[in-house]
Structure 1
Amino acid sequence: MNHSITVRLFAQLRELSGIETLDYDVPAEGLALSDILVDLRTRPSLAVSLEGVRLMTAVNQTMVREGHHVVPGDELALFPPVTGG
């Protein structure tokens, strides 16, 4: 059985990395969102777009914090904070 989540990047994160979506393997019991973010920031293809950026995160279209527990089948969305003018 495949134990993965789908990670979607939005806005400048997508533009800088050139990545729209990626599959990310997680254990069957899941993983803390904070651990996933630490790992993603070490990947060469994502390091530049995620370095020093405060991220907003959503799992299954619900805003979550870094303490959230992500399980196989979830969809994780990463995007920069939205600002208005």
Structure 2
Amino acid sequence: MPTEWKLFADLAERAGEKHVRVDASAGDTVGDALEELLADRPALAERVLEEDGEELRTQINVLRNGTNVLVEEDGLETELEDGDELALFPPVSGGSVERR
């Protein structure tokens, strides 16, 4: 069963759409799914990877079922399970919040 990535902000713009299916399934890793995504949508690579093309930029957030795998799981080595939802977020910068 293919895995779907949800892409946000400029990542969706670079990919040309907000949802991209890749050939990764249960037993594969988040890193495998990310490799498939970047192979399918090479315009994302320069935004997601460091200049060496190997390391993930530190500001990029990778979520599996709403959990940041880089912080709370096994990073890109996190194993996929059937039905997992993957998401890729660029850095989020906030503005001020007006409180009343």
TM class, shorter-length: 0.7 to 0.9
CA-CA distance at 1:40 after TM superposition? 1.7
CA separation of 1:7/1:32 partners in 2, compared to 1, >3 Å: closer, same or farther? same
Higher relative contact order by CA 8 Å / sep ≥ 6: 1 or 2? 1
**8 Å contact kept, 2:22–2:36:** no
3-state SS in 2 of match to 1:78: strand
Identity %: 36
* Aligned AA (2:45): L
Q: Within the alignment, does 1:49 sit opposite 2:44 as a pair?
A: yes
TM-score by length of 2: 0.66
Q: Does 1:79 align with 2:79?
A: no
Matched position secondary structure for 1:37: helix
Q: Which runs of 5+ in 1 are unaligned?
A: none
Give the structure with the higher percent strand: 1
Structure 2 alignment gaps of length 5 or more: 49-56, 71-75, 96-100
**Higher Cα Rg, which structure:** 2
Contact 1:4-1:72 within 8 A present in 2 as well? no
Displacement of 1:31 in angstroms is 0.8
- CA pair 71-24 structure 1, distance change in 2 beyond 3 A: farther
One-letter code aligned to 1:50: A
Q: How far did 1:84 drift?
A: 4.6
- TM-score normalized with structure 1 length: 0.75
How many Å apart are 1:75 and its aligned residue? 0.5
Residue 40 of structure 1 is matched in structure 2 by 37
C-alpha distance in structure 1 between counterparts of 2:37 and 2:43, whole Å: 11
Superposition RMSD on alpha carbons, in Å? 1.9
